Amino acid sequence: MPMKTIAVFVSGNGTNLQAIMNAVVRGALKARIALVVSDKKDAFALKRARRAGISTLFLDPKDYRDRRAYDAAVLRHLKAQEVDLIVLAGFMRILSPSFVRAYRNRILNIHPALLPAFPGERAIKDAFRYGVGVTGVTVHFVDEEVDHGPIIVQEPVRVLATDTMESLEKKIHKVEHRIYPEAIKKVLSGGLILKGRRVLPASHPEKT
């Protein structure tokens, strides 16, 4: 069976990309990162990928008339690389519905809160300011709505009275770096099925 190929989409520092690359190198994730895609020319994540010998792609959104045209250009590159799974790792653009349909149930995202609580790009700050005692991390499939697709895995993170925004961010990122490669592995193994919004093990008695 040929090794599955991944494209990782990034916009920033790329710490989750690094966690995924590390998992591949140590054999915990048996996949090939075929391409790292970014909408930001200076994203440090691109430097991480290049240092690891991974192909990168930067496409400037300003060069395209709209989001759909941009996504169509990205899709052409993914097809050329025969990408099996797309992994969003700090990618700050919203994918068009046509893009999501092209990779239905083959796009993953990681969110630094326990969805559906605290969606959006300020999830850690929002949870901290709200005063929750527990927040966490969610890995989910991407659908046409933002931070909405079926949940693959969640892990809680306790917010202590002594926590600051910075310490909470560190705890959440530590969980992200551990569970994202594990979730990718589950999806690529074919060991999960979708039943409505529920993501179940393929051996689950409710799968039919």
Annotated binding residues, written as ranges, equal 14-16, 67, 92-95, 109
- Is residue 107 within 8 A of residue 88, CB to CB? The reply is yes
To the nearest 10°, the Cα dihedral for 119, 125, 131, 134? 60
Triad 186, 169, 182: Cα angle to 5°: 10
d(C-alpha 190, C-alpha 202), whole Å: 8
Q: Which of 122, 117, 193, 116 is nearest to 152 (CA)?
A: 193
Phi, psi for 9 (deg, rounded to 5): -100, 130
Catalytic residues: 111
